[in-house]
Amino acid sequence: MLARFLKRPGSEHPSESVPIVLRATNMPRISPLASVDPKAHIADDCEIGPFCMVGPDVTIGTGCRLLSHVVLAGWTTVGCDNTFHPHCVIGGPPQDKKFRGERTQLIIGDRNDFREAVTVNLGTELGGGITRIGDDNLLMVNCHVGHDCQIGSRTILSNNVMLAGHMHIGNNVVMSGGAASHHYVTIGDFAFIAGMARIHHDVPPFVKLSEKDKIRAINSEGLRRAGFSESDIEQVEEAGKKLFFNREKNHTMAAALAEFDVMNGIHPQVKLLIEFLKRRDSGKHGRYLESLRPPKKA
């Protein structure tokens, strides 16, 4: 570390100069008030602010910033250009009574923004051993990501969103404030979840959902902002009418799905929607991932 002095405006006296610290560009900027285990792997240009704690099994990629009071623990691998705001606890042990300290992981991609008091837990052996977060996600204040969750890219989890364990969330999903989800739920790409929604079943892609599992509409504006053509959006809207909105009371979801021939010339987004709904019904209580659970021991 090198230092030099910058004179105050209007002053020629050395005692009134301001010290400037010049750091080598190939050294991470770590506050002396931070606690960083020497076994941690930290890229050269990371910033770690005061009162942060970094554990011995943590790997942090280039361009990451831990502002202050951030905890990175467990076997956690963080990609590049992530920002962690104060009081995040990342890589804490899963909230699972069966967990006995097994070597499970948390893997985080690039360019994610973790706002204040976000918590993300490690995986569990029974859940595959890995909690995973993709790229370009925004997790707002006080979000919780439970063990073994798999979150895609470009999602927004608003304040106080609560994700139970073993969830899968696709790409470009928006969850509004206070929304909460049951474990083993899957949320499809480009879904929009309203504030305080209660999610118990898999949420199809491209829909808007509110209250208790109530599909309200197709997320047309979200698709439009993502660059889908008007023709694509019209196809999805037309399928939504047949599947969710204009069905007669005695016309079941199975009957509505049977009207779509996924093998012959169906629109790709509609095909994705139909396949998601068929897969959902194979799981217990409309949660496909529960069909993949290993059987309980006798």
Q: Just list the catalytic residues.
A: 147-148, 165
Q: Report the chain's C-alpha Rg in angstroms.
A: 24
Beta bridge partners of 180: 162, 198
Question: Cα separation of 292 and 282, whole Å?
Answer: 10
Tokens 């920002």 — which residue?
83
Asked if residue 78 lies in contact with residue 108, where contact means CB atoms within 8 angstroms, the answer is: yes
